[in-house]
Amino acid sequence: MNLKDITLGQFFPGNSFLHRLDPRMKLLGLICYLVALFLAQWFVTYGVMLLLLVWGCAVAHIRAKTLLGGMKPVIFLLIFTAVLNMFYTPGTPLVSFWIFTITYEGILHAFFMVVRIMMLICATFLLTYTTSPLSLTDGLESLLSPLNRVRVPVHELAMIMSIALRFIPTLIEETDKIMCAQRARGADFDSGGLIRKAKALIPLLVPLFISSFRRADELATAMECRCYHGGQGRTRMRELRLRPSDWLFLAAMIVVAVAIGVLGQSGL
């Protein structure tokens, strides 16, 4: 497994409509999309959701291959869901053997379930692909800022999150390097059962942890050198400002969610 292939949480810089949207509106829009996804019932509504997703990809110049590549880690979950739904949905039996019965409804249900999960993940990826982690956390910080009043350290949480996101590629690179170094010393990460594999990770995790702590220490010093002193009196280069197009986007997403809900109710 090449760790560098993991695309989770990655950002592809660009200047499309989706890239320029306000992160808060994108987050709220995603929530609308996800709600709509759960209200979708039949081919028509799912078709609309898929069209929306395809439109998003086209606008943001994200290739379908990239999106589907991010699906690898959840393949097991998808198969599991499909199988469960196939067997446990009552209806007209199609095939029957021993105690298992596959129903016509089951196959449809399984299909929709898998499509729903895939679209859910794709839509979330579309958000992280088109929103820089920093503006994503800015958006979250701004959306959650009312919680400041009940003493939730929103700025600190946002900072922790953005630093975590920033260091994911660095730590992945480092993990790759340590793996190679340990392999060169004869470590075996690929063979054996689950327990042996887990044990084999110890020589990987220990150096990784140590170096992470060193990194954290150096980063903290570097941040202090750049006058970081918490969220107090902090300004932003890119102040989040809502433009008419942002409101329009959110309104459209709400309309979509409501429309899908109505259509879903009528069984489409």
Partner 1 sequence: MTEPILRTQDLTFRYTTAEGVAPTVLDCVNLTIEPGAFVAVLGHNGSGKSTFAKHLNAILLPSGGRVYVDGMDTTDEALLLDIRRTVGMVFQNPDNQIVASVVEEDVAFAPENLGVPSAEIRRRVDEALEAVGMTEYARHAPHLLSGGQKQRVAIAGVLAMRPRCIVLDEPTAMLDPVGRREVLDTICTLNQELGMTVVLITHHMDEAARAQRLVVMDNGRVVKDGPPAQVFQDVVGLRRLGLEVPDSVALMYELRQAGLDVPLDVLTPEDCARAVAQILPH
Q: Closer CB to partner 1, residue 42 or residue 167?
A: 167
End-to-end CA distance of the chain: give it in Å, rounded: 42
- The secondary structure of residue 18, as a DSSP letter, is H
Say if residues 37 and 120 touch (Cβ distance below 8 Å): yes
* 133 part of the interface to partner 1, by CB under 8 A: yes
Which residue in 230, 223, 238 sits closest to 135, CA to CA?
Answer: 238
Q: What is the DSSP string of 134-182?
A: HHHHHHHHHHHGGGGGGT--HHHHHHHHHHHHHHHHHHHHHHHHHHHHH
* 170 part of the interface to partner 1, by CB under 8 A: yes
* 13 part of the interface to partner 1, by CB under 8 A: yes
CB of 245 to partner 1, least distance (A): 20
* 225 part of the interface to partner 1, by CB under 8 A: yes
Say if residues 260 and 39 touch (Cβ distance below 8 Å): yes
* 195 part of the interface to partner 1, by CB under 8 A: no
Q: Closer CB to partner 1, residue 143 or residue 172?
A: 172
- Phi first, then psi, for residue 103 (nearest 5°) are -105, 160
Task: Give residue 1's identity as a one-letter amino acid code.
Answer: M
Q: How many CA atoms lie less than 13 Å away from 226 in the CB half-sphere?
A: 6
Q: Closer CB to partner 1, residue 99 or residue 227?
A: 227
- Phi first, then psi, for residue 75 (nearest 5°) are -55, -45
* 131 part of the interface to partner 1, by CB under 8 A: no
CB of 99 to partner 1, least distance (A): 52
* 130 part of the interface to partner 1, by CB under 8 A: no
CB of 164 to partner 1, least distance (A): 11
- The secondary structure of residue 16, as a DSSP letter, is S
Give bridge partners of residue 195 from the DSSP assignment: none
CB of 227 to partner 1, least distance (A): 4
Q: With CB under 8 A as the contact rule, which of the stretches 157-165, 177-185, 198-206, 257-265 interacts with partner 1? A: 157-165
CB of 59 to partner 1, least distance (A): 18
The correct pick among 173, 177, 251, 265 for binding partner 1 (CB under 8 A) is: 173
Rounded to whole angstroms, the Cα distance separating 83 from 95 reads 14
Which residues within the stretch 23-52 sit at the binding site for partner 1 (CB under 8 A)?
A: none
The correct pick among 145, 148, 221, 266 for binding partner 1 (CB under 8 A) is: 221
* Interface with partner 1: number of residues (CB under 8 A): 32
Residues engaged in binding partner 1 (CB under 8 A):
11, 13, 132-134, 162-163, 165-166, 169-170, 173, 214-215, 218-219, 221-229, 233-239
